[in-house]
């Protein structure tokens, strides 16, 4: 099964980062995360996942239940998470501002595709962190990926970030054995060809040009471009799942989301067996995630 490689990679990365979210890089340099720990920032038990995982699971469950990508239903399941703690281990404890605003709009009866913020300030990493499931759907088109972003994050920059991420994941799924740089290059070329004169492409320049080797120039804050750059930096400068996600967490700031987005790709690239089993076992209710992965894989195979 392939779906669990990326999805469990994402969940484990999220859970590793939750206890130290918002900690500075300096403080993590002094006291780095080396494995699964509990409490900290959100005072949650060891192995707790956050919004990144919950919204990813909600997306997968909606697609499985509807046997289709239904934007209204995806928003309904996001509300079920936010209001009813569905897709949580215990309760919802973390939500981004843009996502919360979009869910409030949806509750007012606004159509799903009109709920996401379109301002330049609405470009947090909140749609990038939950877009991975789409990479497993054969021949998924860019418009659909953009729309799944747009229900919470409708600015073109966030939409393109989601398409680029799905393309990198797809390249890893399709071209096994290629080095990481090559997957990024393949995906970057596709995006630049498709969006051609789109002015937003300039924000992705450092990713396209492979100009991400200096850690001092990488910010791991929640802006979608900074997050994406951090993820690429971590993938390029490590050689296994464990080191990639620990590097992501220890960059500081938006630790859970950077590690979740990095972990999704690292899980695909290195495979499920490279994810430390004691980290997987430390996550309460991981069986529910694995069973949803199986259902989602069946959907993708029949698509």
**Residues making contact with Mg ion (CB under 5 A):** 50-52, 94, 256
Name the residue number minimizing CB distance to Mg ion.
Answer: 50
**What are the beta bridge partners of residue 153?**
117
The SS3 of residue 252 is: coil
> CB of 187: closest distance to Mg ion in angstroms?
24
Minimum distance of Mg ion from residue 94's CB (angstroms): 5
In 3D, which of 272, 295, 245 has the Cα closest to residue 36?
Answer: 245
What per-residue string of b and e applies to 109-131 under the rule 16 or more CB within 10 Å gives b? eeebeebbbeeeebbbbbbbbbb
Q: Which residue number, 50 or 220, has a Cβ lying nearer to Mg ion?
A: 50
Segment (H or E) for 194? helix 180-195
What is the number of other CB atoms lying within 10 angstroms of the CB of residue 24? 13
Q: For residues 16 and 180, what is the distance between their CA atoms, to the nearest angstrom?
A: 23
Task: Write the CB contacts of 272 (distance below 8 Å, at least 6 apart in sequence).
Answer: 4, 5, 8, 9
- Least Cβ distance, residue 158 to Mg ion (angstroms): 16
Smallest distance, Mg ion to C-beta of residue 52, A: 5
Q: Which is nearer to Mg ion, 254 or 297 (CB)?
A: 254
State in angstroms the smallest separation of the CB of 84 from Mg ion: 18
């Amino acid at each position: 099964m392939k779906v669990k490689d990326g999805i469990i990679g994402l969940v484990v990365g999220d859970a590793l980062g939750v206890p130290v979210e918002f900690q500075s890089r300096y403080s993590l340099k002094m006291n780095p995360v080396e494995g699964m720990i509990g409490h900290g920032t959100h005072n949650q038990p060891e192995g707790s996942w956050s919004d990144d995982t919950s919204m990813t699971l909600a997306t997968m469950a909606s697609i499985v239940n509807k046997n289709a990508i239904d934007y209204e239903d995806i928003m309904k399941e996001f509300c079920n998470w936010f209001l009813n703690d569905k897709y949580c281990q215990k309760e919802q404890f973390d939500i981004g501002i843009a996502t919360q605003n979009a869910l409030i709009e949806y509750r007012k009866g606004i159509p799903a595709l009109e709920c996401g913020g379109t301002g330049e300030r609405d470009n947090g990493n909140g749609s990038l962190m939950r877009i991975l499931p789409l990479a497993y759907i054969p021949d998924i088109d860019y418009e659909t990926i953009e729309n799944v972003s747009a229900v919470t994050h409708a600015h073109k920059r966030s939409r393109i970030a989601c398409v680029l991420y799905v393309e990198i994941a797809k390249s890893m799924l399709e071209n096994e054995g290629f080095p990481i740089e090559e997957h990024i290059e393949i995906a970057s070329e596709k995006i630049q060809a498709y969006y051609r004169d789109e002015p937003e492409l300039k924000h992705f320049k450092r990713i396209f040009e492979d100009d991400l080797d200096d850690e001092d120039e990488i910010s791991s804050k929640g802006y979608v471009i900074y997050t994406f750059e951090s993820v690429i930096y971590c993938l390029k400068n490590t050689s296994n799942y464990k080191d990639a996600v620990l590097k992501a967490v220890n960059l500081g700031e938006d630790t859970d989301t950077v590690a979740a987005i990095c972990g999704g790709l690292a899980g695909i690239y290195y495979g499920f067996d490279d994810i430390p089993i004691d980290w997987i076992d430390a996550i309460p209710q991981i069986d529910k995630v694995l069973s949803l992965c199986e259902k989602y894989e069946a959907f993708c195979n029949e698509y």
